Structure 1
């Protein structure tokens, strides 16, 4: 239970949700959009989040979409990680999402909640960063479609009253060779030490990271170094570290030195698995 009371609303359309948010703001309330609610419950109990009005997006058809439209896969923001894992329409996303929390939690955690949440790992965004996906965002100024790599900088940049409706990915990325590796220092379902997702397209290997720094990221500079076939795997990896955002995390899950050690070994494994063609 939360240590405070709140009003609950479940709009049936994008327009209704936005109008409701604006009305509640005019009433000097602190509305919050809601998908699965796991983070609100977790952080609310610790008094890290406060809201007196919850707007549940699960009644909006567009937020529940899941399937192909022409040559694109449409994923609604309120789809649970478990549903994505079971359907496997986006294999890299399924592989990455199935390592988030535990089985029971993934029945509640939504893809939008994981991407937009305050807990900094947000691993589910990695496959979308690698696939040049687009996001559909709705708010008081209307609905907009943006490349995720242009609006996700440390977090998904949403204006006041906006919410994520859908993520759209071109079908060609779904069949690309890929791998997702999560490393934990502690128990199987504990918070990760780090996660690295990788996808190979037209001979070039892309990489996205979570848990290395205080936010998920994809670095083109690191990718260029990691794809330099004139160098050995070790030299590629060590030279790519020059472009890591700083600081590297140093917390209860692992020191920054240990993270770099694990990251080096993880990247070496990924390059070998996905076909990095090591220099002789």
Structure 2
């Protein structure tokens, strides 16, 4: 049970959802867009989230889309991770999303809910960062389409009253060779520590990481070090470690030193998997 009450709304169109947010905000209701609900329930119970009005966007047709359209794949923000996994339209996303939580939870966690969450991990964003995907947002100023790498800097930079509707990814990235691994505290069953996802595009490795820092990220500096094929694997990995963003998480789930140890080994696994792949 949540320690507060809220009004519940379920709009059927994008414009209705946007107008409803503005109306409720003007009333001081602190409205919240809601597509899965797992974060609201989790954080609300410990007084880290509060709202007097929930706007559930799961009935909006545009947010439920899942299709190949021309040369790109379109995925709606309210699709559950389970549906995305079963459809397998984007293999790297399928592999990465299949490691989020457990099967029961993935049936409730939505794509948008994971990407826009406040938790550290948000693994589902990594494939889109690597694939230069485009996001469709809507808010008080209307619709806009933005490259995800322009608007995601540790978190999705939504303006007040905006929400994520769809993500579009070009087929050339969908078909690229990939690598995705999650390491846990006890490898197969423990608490998540590090997730690494990678694509090889035009003979260059692109890499995204979750669980190392308080935010998921893609780093061109890390990629530059890993793609320095004139050096040994040891030198390339050392170079990548040297340019990681800060801070490195250091908590009861895993020390900074241990997380870096795990990541270093994952970098070697990544190079072994993708170095010899020709694209």
TM-score, normalising length from structure 2? 0.97
Q: Distance in 2 between matches of 1:188 and 1:83?
A: 23
Say whether residues 1:80 and 2:76 are aligned partners.
no
Moved more, 259-268 or 179-188: 179-188
Cα contact 1:101–1:190 (8 A) shared by 2: no
Secondary structure of the residue aligned to 1:17 is: helix
d(CA) in 2 for partners of 1:257, 1:235: 19
Whether contact under 8 Å (1:102, 1:189) holds in the other structure is no
In structure 2, distance between residues paired with 1:252 and 1:171:
41
Once the 2 structures are TM-superposed, how far is the Cα of residue 69 of structure 1 from its aligned partner?
Answer: 1.1
Task: Tell me what 1:275 maps to.
Answer: 275
Unaligned residue ranges in structure 1 (runs of 5+): none
Distance in structure 1 (CA, Å) of the matches to 2:90 and 2:31: 32
Query: What residue number does 1:145 align with?
Result: 145
Query: Which residue number corresponds to residue 159 of structure 1?
Result: 159
Instruction: Give every structure 1 segment of 4 or more consecutive aligned residues whose post-TM-superposition deviation is greater than 6 Å.
Output: none
Contact preservation (8 Å) 1:101, 1:189 = no
> Aligned ranges for residues 223-262 of structure 1 at < 5 Å?
223-262=223-262
Identify the residue that residue 37 of structure 1 maps to in structure 2. 37
* Partner Cα distance (2:36, 2:84) in 1: 14
Q: Determine helix, strand or coil for the equivalent of 1:67.
A: strand
- Structure 2 residues not aligned, in runs of 5+: none
TM-score, scaled relative to structure 1: 0.97
Q: How does 1:1-280 map to 2 (within 5 A)?
A: 1-186=1-186, 188=188, 190-275=190-275
Question: C-alpha distance in 2, partners of 1:105/1:222?
Answer: 32
CA distance in 2, matches of 1:120, 1:276: 32
Task: Tell me how far apart the structure 1 counterparts of residues 75 and 276 of structure 2 sit (CA, whole Å).
Answer: 31
Aligned residues: 277
Shift of 1:191: 3.6
